[in-house]
Amino acid sequence: MRICSTPENMKTEIDRLKTTLTSNGYPPHIIKRGIREGGIITKRILQQPRQPQQKTGKTVFFVLPYYGQETFIFSQRIKKVCRKLLPRLTLNFSFRKYSTIRSVFLSLQKGQDPEKRMKKLVYKINCKNCDKHYFGETGRTRSKRMIDHKRAIRNNYESSKLAKHVYDNNHTVDIDKVETMTLETNWRRRIIKESLYTHNSAEKAFNDTKHQLRVFG
């Protein structure tokens, strides 16, 4: 039997799922697609002829593009809802990288300038004098964003966290050796990923957290 035995109970669970995923910054079209596909699978399973003699449950496998921690949260929520709707159904999720090695290095194979592809990304700048670091994101090329940071430090802009760290502590940041953490074309997902890196840095990042995820409490 299904635990959500009425349409009202099912709607309540789906609404709760939508609210949770939306508050954690997951794209609306991904939420709608996941719920729609889950509904199709559920309908197909319910329409199958009952086989009382069969005691083993059914296992369904899904492959999701991995956008970061929010993808894992999404898969766990889907599993929780399915356990309530169909206790005998087991969902197994696997994840594939949104950016593959092939997509990153394809420009090299075609003879393009790799620096021109270094855009729409999350990056990390380390301090040369301590273990602190700065996470940022940009939709432009990485080199152009670093020019902005150098100008901010040179002119000691009050709005720049990098400039504040440099002048308050008399430190030097290693802008010339900036690290690319991840490539991401979607602005909202870049903000979320930057915030995840910041949160997971054990308070060693001196940049602001742009997106507060409820999963962190």
Show me where the domains of the chain are located.
Answer: 7-47+56-97, 107-212
pLDDT of residue 215: 44
- Residue 50 binned pLDDT confidence (cut-offs 50, 70, 90): low
- Residue 1 binned pLDDT confidence (cut-offs 50, 70, 90): very low
| Sheet with 133-141: strands ordered across | 133-141, 119-126, 179-183
Give the mean pLDDT of 73-77. 76
pLDDT of residue 49: 63
pLDDT of residue 42: 65
Q: What is the mean pLDDT of the chain?
A: 77
How far are the Cα atoms of 37, 42, 85 from residue 46, in angstroms, in the given order?
A: 14, 6, 11
The tokens describing 213, both together, are 């995820």
- Tell me the CATH class for 107-212: alpha beta
